[in-house]
């Protein structure tokens, strides 16, 4: 009975979203107050209905209701409680419902926090978000109903994929989706502005905090996904350029360009058209990502079970939303450039270059991800595009960005005498070069790659510090939240760059055949293998190894790599043992038993400074959040 | 991923003969082996490199790569050997040839195109830009 | 105006590509790697017969009549699913079916055949799996159609169903006549 109620709630939400798509939009068009006023209540009502539906699906999992097909396919009577919550979003139908819920949440938040906006703007923005919600709700109800019954009900479920039975699963998808879906707000503001015809800087000011928050959540989601893959998958990688990872990275890059472009449009009135286009592009890439994961068009370890019918549905939805908004852009985008003119050397130009590089990187990733599809369609054979391609081209495109980054904050608007910032930054450039050279010669395992990474990080940090010093000297330490956020995010980039280059060039791994009592030396650490024993878990039976690690005779860690056999599905998972600190990670994974005598194959890793990658990402995310709280967004706009 | 592939993989990795760690003759051989197998794709777990994959076939192919290395084959010959059997899909880095020119040179062209657009935009907007940099006070943040 | 339509056109081109992708890939196993052996001679091999290790069979021995090489193993559950289809194909006489026992021990293989039936004309074994690399085999079940002159004509990755036999294999066999 309850699952049917869940479906009913969803249908009601569908009707509400239909009303939300139509009424306020017509009201804004006709200046009809009461119709415009329906937007907020409809947004809240829609959220309520979807929340009820989501809660009922969660309840079905908690109660082990195996008469619901989705529960039977993704859960099991032995599944621990916390994973029953996360199992809701572990496969296609449920994760879609989560997407819908989060979209409704963002819509309601915009409804709640838009008191300062004129009624027609609120009406149009909420209506656009309603249209998006309508599409997703229709997709869910008509092709991906999570409440479908399995009659007769299963005796027990097929269990959630053991790879997903981990704490990372609790946070990664929700954070990611909050980000993806959050770009719908900037999108809705852009589309509303295009429909309205009033494309001044006003709408940008309103949408900036929302966009920053969405981008920050996406940053967290991606960083967490990377960290989770690292410790869960057992072979020490942290990014694989997998199609689905790429699908999250593209909106991130475009989103980064968007927040910069919005800043320019808000402060100077320039780049209205570009900002609008980027806002459309960011959300379009979110939708594209949803399509790629669920349509079966690309092979990926992340992909949900594919279904061409679903694929076509999303594609048509994608075509309508993106095609429609781009058509609207073609017709209604501002013809005249506003804002003050600017010279070739000016902050405006540098920010344009920044956005060009970010967007080109996103385009490159799109090209590489879809190329196998293109090649197949043109009968060019089965080509595969992997990390060697993406990694190389990404570094080539990002290198200029790293070089230009410190200039941006130091340049003036409209015109800058380039020799000035060059003079200011010259000592930092020298310091970076020295740091690079010192790294190359003094770092024991350092290579040219390590040197470049350190040099790049020092350069960015130095330039950022220079700006900070300058600001403190001239305006007496008055930093706006915007500046603080910027400094934090840019410093985060430096930390990230350092982490990537150091770990990629100095990490070491060794495969060994180990018998109890054997000891292995790796980078000054001694790994002493003590053997493997059986160890039962809540829903698995594990082979649990013990490895004691010493450095200079002092005990450092006791590590327990495991190989778990899950009882429900019989799958075997490798759980690597990790001992991490900011300066290095020690990583031990159990391979296969060598023979009957108790020997095992072990993989040992030492990964220096790998955690800087995620620290840097965290700093970037935090920076984005801090910017959103700047007082300027709560002030009434003074048009320049 | 099709269920049969998943089950196959897991059963194979569980029931297979031991995955013996390799004893390299020297560091150079180890480095070359690691680099080479990182440039090849595991044909079973298709989103992993040959170096990283735990699949049985990945192990077999790694042993074969090592054997070919010890026979004196060059990296290129080893790659050709694998491509002849498993198609170009086994190369992690797509070869540069007419069918992949768009892939390899496309991003550069996009960047170039974007730079041209940027130059045009900047040229147009420079009309009327102040001749000297504005004073600090007019710069709002 | 053209400039402003550019993003739309670019997107439409992308949408067309994606639509083509969805339609092409429906029902297909997108992870299957196409075989580079199609149209080329089958790789040379010399493998022992199951249960009679002194008797070796090579590609040359099989010339003269087309055959379907069916790669299987006792450890492979999907091979079990496929077996009735293989059995039906073999008994129909449409083509002789040679079993290729991949990465299996003799005892396990024989036990499997006893349990599920042995429809094969012949079963050769590749316990170490080395010869399989020459065929581009990467798992089981896989099936190759080799014609009378030893050229590989068709490969299927995954368990064959009666539809696959009807819609793909039999037409290929027709072409050989």
Q: Which residues contact A124 (CB under 8 A, 6 or more apart)?
A: A24, A25, A28, A188, A191, A192, A195, A196
pLDDT-derived band at B7, boundaries 50, 70, 90: very low
CA–CA min distance A268, chain B (Å): 9
Is C137's pLDDT higher than 60?
yes
Interface test with A, best of B122, B123, B131, B140 (most A CBs within 10 A): B122
Model pLDDT for residues B48-98, shown as the tens digit of each residue: 888 888 788 888 999 999 999 999 999 999 999 999 999 888 888 888 888
- DSSP code, position A68: B
Pick the CATH number of C39-176 from 3.30.310.80, 3.20.20.70, 3.40.50.10140, 3.40.30.10: 3.40.30.10
User: Radius of gyration (Cα) for chain C, nearest Å?
Assistant: 20
CA–CA min distance C78, chain A (Å): 16
Q: Do A376 and C24 touch (CB under 8 A)?
A: yes
Contact in structure between A286 and A181 (CB atoms under 8 Å): yes
Give the C-alpha separation, B58 to B46, whole Å. 10
pLDDT of the residue at B1: 38
User: What residues in C contact A326, CB-CB < 8 Å?
Assistant: 7-8, 11
- The minimal CB distance from C17 to the residues A299, A326, A370 is found for A370
pLDDT of the residue at B137: 59
Pick the CATH number of B3-90 from 3.30.200.20, 3.30.413.10, 1.10.10.60, 1.10.8.640: 1.10.8.640
Percent of chain A whose predicted confidence (pLDDT) is above 90: 61
DSSP letter for each residue of chain C: -HHHHHHHHHHHHHHHHHHHHHHHHTTS-TTPPPPTTTTSBPPP-EEEETTEEEEEEETGGGTTS-EEEEEE-TT-HHHHHHHHHHHHHHHHTSSEEEEEEES--HHHHHHHHHHH----SEEEEESS-HHHHHHT--SSSEEEEE-TTSBEEEEEES---HHHIIIIIHHHHHHH-
pLDDT of the residue at A637: 55
Q: Which residue of B has its CA nearest to A510?
A: B21
pLDDT-derived band at A306, boundaries 50, 70, 90: low
Q: Do C129 and B83 touch (CB under 8 A)?
A: no
Interface test with B, best of A229, A244, A298, A343 (most B CBs within 10 A): A343
Is B4's pLDDT higher than 80?
no
- Where are the domains positioned within chain A? 1-116+137-159, 166-336+345-404, 405-500, 508-609
CA–CA min distance A248, chain C (Å): 18
Model pLDDT for residues C64-98, shown as the tens digit of each residue: 999 999 999 999 989 999 999 999 999 998 899 99
- Where are the domains positioned within chain C? 39-176
Q: What subunits make at least 3 CB pairs under 8 angstroms with C? A: A, B
Task: Compute the average pLDDT of residues A126-154.
Answer: 92
Is A463's pLDDT higher than 60?
yes
Among candidates A601, C132, A388, C43, which has minimal Cα distance to B61? Answer: C132
Which residue would you say has higher pLDDT here, A610 or B135? A610
CA–CA min distance A47, chain B (Å): 34
ipTM: 0.85
- State whether residue C36 sits within 8 Å of chain B by CB: yes
Q: Do A360 and B107 touch (CB under 8 A)?
A: yes
Task: Compute the average pLDDT of residues A388-403.
Answer: 95
């Amino acid at each position: 009975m309850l699952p049917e109620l869940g479906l009913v709630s969803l249908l009601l939400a569908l009707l509400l979203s239909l009303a939300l798509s139509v009424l306020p939009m017509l009201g804004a068009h006709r200046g009809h107050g009461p119709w415009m006023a329906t937007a907020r209540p409809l947004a809240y009502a829609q959220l309520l209905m979807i929340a009820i539906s989501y809660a009922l699906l969660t309840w079905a999992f908690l109660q082990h209701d195996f008469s619901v097909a989705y529960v039977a396919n993704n859960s099991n009577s032995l599944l621990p409680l916390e994973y029953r919550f996360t199992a809701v979003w572990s496969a296609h139908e449920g994760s879609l419902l989560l997407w819908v819920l989060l979209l409704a949440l963002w819509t309601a938040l915009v409804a709640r926090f838009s008191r300062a906006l004129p009624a027609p703007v609120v009406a149009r923005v909420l209506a656009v978000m309603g249209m998006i919600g309508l599409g997703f709700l229709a997709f869910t109800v008509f092709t991906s109903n999570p409440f479908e019954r399995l009659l007769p009900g299963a005796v027990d479920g097929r269990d959630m994929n053991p790879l997903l039975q981990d704490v990372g699963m609790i946070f990664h998808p929700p954070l990611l989706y909050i980000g993806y879906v959050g770009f719908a707000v900037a999108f809705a503001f852009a589309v509303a502005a295009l429909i309205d015809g009033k494309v001044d800087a006003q709408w940008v000011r309103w949408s900036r905090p929302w966009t920053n928050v969405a981008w920050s959540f996406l940053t967290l989601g991606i960083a967490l996904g990377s960290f989770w893959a690292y410790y869960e998958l057992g072979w020490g990688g942290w990014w694989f350029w997998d199609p689905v990872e790429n699908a999250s990275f593209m909106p991130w890059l475009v989103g980064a360009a968007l927040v910069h472009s919005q800043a320019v449009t808000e402060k100077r009135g320039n780049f209205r058209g570009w900002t609008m286009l980027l806002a459309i592009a960011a959300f379009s890439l979110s939708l594209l990502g949803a399509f790629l994961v669920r349509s079966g068009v690309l092979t990926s370890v992340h992909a949900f079970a594919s279904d061409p019918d679903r694929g076509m549905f999303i594609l048509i939805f994608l075509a309508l939303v993106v095609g429609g908004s781009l058509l609207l852009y073609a017709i209604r985008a501002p013809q005249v450039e506003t804002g003050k003119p600017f010279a070739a050397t000016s902050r405006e130009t540098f920010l344009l270059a920044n956005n060009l590089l970010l967007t080109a990187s996103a385009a490159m990733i799109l090209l590489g991800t879809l190329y196998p599809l293109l090649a197949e369609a043109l009968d060019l054979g089965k080509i595969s595009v992997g990390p060697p391609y993406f990694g190389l081209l990404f570094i080539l495109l990002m290198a200029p960005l790293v070089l230009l980054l410190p200039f941006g904050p130091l340049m003036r608007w409209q015109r800058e005498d380039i020799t000035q910032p060059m003079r200011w930054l010259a000592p930092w450039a020298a310091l970076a070069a020295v740091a690079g050279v010192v790294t190359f010669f003094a770092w024991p395992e350092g290579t040219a790659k390590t040197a470049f990474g350190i040099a790049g990080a020092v350069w960015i940090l130095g330039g950022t510090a220079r700006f900070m010093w300058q600001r403190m000297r001239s305006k007496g330490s008055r930093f706006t939240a915007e500046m603080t956020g910027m400094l934090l995010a840019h410093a985060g980039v430096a930390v990230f760059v350092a982490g990537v280059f150091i770990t990629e060039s100095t990490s070491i791994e060794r495969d060994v055949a180990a018998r109890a009592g054997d000891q292995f030396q790796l980078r000054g650490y001694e790994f002493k293998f003590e053997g493997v024993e059986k160890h039962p878990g809540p829903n698995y039976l594990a082979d649990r190894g013990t490895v004691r690690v010493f450095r200079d005779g002092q005990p450092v860690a006791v590590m327990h790599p495991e190989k778990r056999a899950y009882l429900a599905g019989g799958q075997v998972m490798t759980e690597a043992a990790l001992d991490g600190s900011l300066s290095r990670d020690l990583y031990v994974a159990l391979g296969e038993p060598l023979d009957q005598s108790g020997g095992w194959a072990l993989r040992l890793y030492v990964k220096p400074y790998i955690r800087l990658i995620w620290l840097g990402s965290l700093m970037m995310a935090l920076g984005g959040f801090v910017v959103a709280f700047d007082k300027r967004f709560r002030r009434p706009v003074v048009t320049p | 991923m099709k269920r049969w592939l998943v089950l196959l993989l897991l059963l194979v990795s569980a029931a297979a003969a031991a995955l013996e760690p390799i004893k390299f003759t020297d560091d150079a051989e180890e480095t070359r082996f690691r680099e080479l197998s990182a440039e090849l794709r595991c044909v079973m777990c298709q989103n992993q490199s040959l170096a990283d994959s735990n699949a049985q076939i990945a192990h077999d192919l790694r042993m074969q790569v090592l054997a070919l290395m010890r026979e004196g084959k060059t990296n290129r010959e080893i790659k050709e050997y694998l491509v002849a059997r498993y198609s170009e899909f086994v190369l992690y880095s797509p070869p540069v040839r007419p069918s992949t020119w768009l892939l390899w040179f496309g991003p550069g062209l996009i960047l170039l195109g974007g730079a041209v657009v940027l130059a045009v935009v900047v040229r147009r907007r420079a009309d009327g830009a102040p001749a000297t940099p504005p004073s600090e006070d007019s710069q709002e943040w | 105006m053209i400039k402003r339509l550019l993003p739309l056109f670019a997107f439409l081109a992308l949408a067309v590509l994606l639509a083509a992708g969805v339609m092409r890939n429906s029902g297909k196993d997108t992870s299957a790697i196409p075989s580079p052996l199609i149209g080329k001679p089958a790789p040379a091999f010399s493998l022992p017969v199951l249960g009679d290790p002194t008797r070796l069979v090579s590609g040359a021995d099989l010339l003269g009549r087309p055959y379907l090489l069916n790669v299987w193993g006792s450890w492979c559950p999907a091979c079990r699913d496929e077996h009735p289809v293989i059995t039906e194909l073999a008994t129909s006489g449409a083509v002789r079916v040679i079993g290729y026992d991949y990465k299996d021990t003799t005892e396990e293989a024989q036990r499997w055949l006893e349990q599920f039936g042995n429809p094969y004309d012949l079963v050769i074994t590749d316990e170490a799996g080395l010869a399989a690399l020459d065929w581009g085999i990467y798992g089981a079940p896989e099936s190759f159609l080799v014609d009378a002159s030893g050229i590989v004509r068709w490969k299927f990755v995954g368990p064959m169903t009666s539809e696959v036999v009807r819609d793909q294999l039999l037409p290929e066999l027709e072409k050989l006549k």
